[in-house]
Amino acid sequence: MDLEVLVALPIIIPLLLGALSLTVLSNHSAQRWLGAIGTALLLLCSVWLLLHTREVGIQVLEVGSWPAPFGIVLVSDMLGAIMVVLASITGFATALYSLKTVRKRFERFGYYPLLHLLLAGVNGAFLTGDIFNLYVWFEVLLVASFALLILGGERAQMEGAIKYVTLNLLSSALFLTAIGLTYGLVGTLNMADIAVKMASLEDQKMVTVIASLFLIAFAIKAAAFPLFFWLPASYHTPQVAVSAIFAGLLTKVGVYALYRVFTLIFTADTGFTHEILLWIAIFTMLTGVLGAAAQFEVRRILSFHIISQIGYMILGLALFTPLALIGGVFYIMHHIIVKANLFLVAGLMYRLGGSFELKKLGGLYRNHPGLAVLFLIPALSLAGVPPLSGFFAKFILIKAGVEASAWWAVGVALLVGLLTLFSMIKIWNEAFWKASPEPNPAVPAPTRNALLYWTIGLLAAMTVCIGLFAQPIYQMAEMAAAQLLNPAGYIEAVLGGTTP
């Protein structure tokens, strides 16, 4: 019983940390300590939660002792726990990276409290078992992300932020509409209870309408085709550390929400909903990678690749076979780490090479071979080169596609993998391999960047480890997929008398 509180810790820790660092807003060193040590603590707790969930099964916490369909529950199943660990890893890496890169002006503006608030929102979204509570956590992380996005106040940031804010608010309004209709239809907000009551309805037409609304709302958040335009317009504008945590986490919250509702609640009419998801996945993969091919700014290339990678994750959900879901979960695990890392590498490239534009960069391999290696690991993993993490993720998904005879999806997935490799080689050739366009680029003293190297190296090591020790990771993904495919277990855990 006592370990129940573990489920709440990933939310309560960043919330408390954020509040504490708000009270010491003008004390810079206190803020940094709270940021680094606090996120480390968060990481420890979330790993503990994951291990506990793997050991014991789905964990349910009834907030305030209100029994399940009436009160809000926090649920930690394998998918939720895995996502929380990934969020904490990204948060920890970002906090470390921020120590050296975030200016004092931004710290006074509230950078660290916002970072904690963002993590609280993301973890809350991953752990809640209540659909309206999910909306609230979405808004919490959105408000934090709005403020982080415009930190610095440059023109590009403002223009990007207006699009980001508008599209995300539109998505929130649709989400709220869908919640309203759900409540009108079944009279409950608990996701497990909704699943039970929706399945017992005679008229499934309204259910499909609501499913479509949820699909659009979450697809905007996940930046899926055709509603992805806000992402490449905004993600390259903020501070690099902010870009990294956005790239790693925010769209994945949308993907997580899709995984949650389309495995738990809307499984009656998979011929309709999951067929749409399949085509969304195919077009998302394609448009993302083609968009990236046209770009020559490192962060914009990476932004477009987020979109194409989202396509793979949705593909896993759309195929809806055990293997495909395993692949999808594995892909999310691999992608969050790799993507956050690539943005951090881009930040270091800017510090060392003085630009994000490929035309102005060059000679980085010669001057900083260490960075070149650290770029290659996540870049090749993103493209799916064995034995790195991305290879296994793509391999499982494509195998699932072949088994389900989704030939279009398989073909596009393979092609997009190839084009991703092309994109990464483009960055490699331009930024690292070719001679520097300026004869003597200003090179800052290397010691100042040691912490940044360590952060990037840590994430790169994780990428390698996921590739080399794929078996235990695969097993966790397998457990998560098994729980997703058998929602009865989730429903049983939430509604079936777990009260102490």
Q: Which of residues 160-179 bind other proteins (CB under 8 A)?
A: 160-163, 165-166, 169-170, 172-173, 176-177, 179
Would you give the DSSP letter of residue 442? -
Q: Where are the alpha helices (DSSP H) in 294-321?
A: 298-319
* Residue with Cβ nearer other proteins (257 or 377): 257
Question: Of residues 112, 132, 214, 428, which one binds other proteins by CB under 8 A?
Answer: 132
Least distance to other proteins, CB of residue 358, Å: 17
Q: Binding of other proteins at residue 497 (CB under 8 A)?
A: no
Quick check: 284 and 309 in contact, CB under 8 A? no
- The three-class DSSP label of residue 130 is strand
Diameter of the chain by CA atoms?
A: 74
Please give the single-letter amino acid code of residue 363: G
Quick check: 222 and 260 in contact, CB under 8 A? no
> How far is the C-alpha of 116 from the C-alpha of 231, rounded, in Å?
22
Least distance to other proteins, CB of residue 71, Å: 9
Number of residues that bind other proteins (CB under 8 A): 62
Least distance to other proteins, CB of residue 177, Å: 5
* Residue with Cβ nearer other proteins (44 or 169): 169
> How far is the C-alpha of 40 from the C-alpha of 93, rounded, in Å?
9
Question: Of residues 110, 254, 347, 417, which one binds other proteins by CB under 8 A?
Answer: 110
Q: With left for phi above 0 and alpha for psi between -120 and 50, is residue 362 left, alpha or beta?
A: left
> How far is the C-alpha of 250 from the C-alpha of 430, rounded, in Å?
29
Least distance to other proteins, CB of residue 252, Å: 21
Least distance to other proteins, CB of residue 500, Å: 7
Minimal CA–CA distance to 123: which of 148, 151, 90, 93? Answer: 90
Place of tokens 């969050």: 336
Positions of E strands within 33-118 = 59-62, 73-76
Question: Of residues 16, 206, 293, 464, which one binds other proteins by CB under 8 A?
Answer: 16
Q: Binding of other proteins at residue 183 (CB under 8 A)?
A: yes
Question: Of residues 65, 440, 447, 471, which one binds other proteins by CB under 8 A?
Answer: 65
* Residue with Cβ nearer other proteins (63 or 465): 63
* Residue with Cβ nearer other proteins (154 or 275): 154
Least distance to other proteins, CB of residue 123, Å: 14
Sign of dihedral through CA atoms 337, 342, 347, 353? positive
* Residue with Cβ nearer other proteins (41 or 143): 143
Q: Where are the alpha helices (DSSP H) in 128-204?
A: 131-149, 155-186, 191-199
Question: Of residues 37, 51, 158, 373, which one binds other proteins by CB under 8 A?
Answer: 158
Least distance to other proteins, CB of residue 25, Å: 6
Q: Binding of other proteins at residue 45 (CB under 8 A)?
A: no
Q: Which of residues 366-425 bind other proteins (CB under 8 A)?
A: none
Place of tokens 């029994």: 67
**With CB under 8 A as the contact rule, which of the stretches 59-67, 427-435, 443-451, 476-484 interacts with other proteins?**
59-67
- Radius of gyration, CA atoms only, the chain: 22
One DSSP character per residue, 409-427 reads HHHHHHHHHHHHHHHHHHH
Quick check: 77 and 127 in contact, CB under 8 A? no
Q: Binding of other proteins at residue 79 (CB under 8 A)?
A: no
Q: Binding of other proteins at residue 271 (CB under 8 A)?
A: no
Residues lying near other proteins in the complex (CB under 8 A) are found at: 1-2, 4-5, 8, 12, 15-16, 18-23, 25, 61-65, 110, 113, 132, 135-136, 139, 142-143, 146-147, 150, 153-156, 158-163, 165-166, 169-170, 172-173, 176-177, 179-181, 183-184, 189, 229, 232-234, 236-237, 500
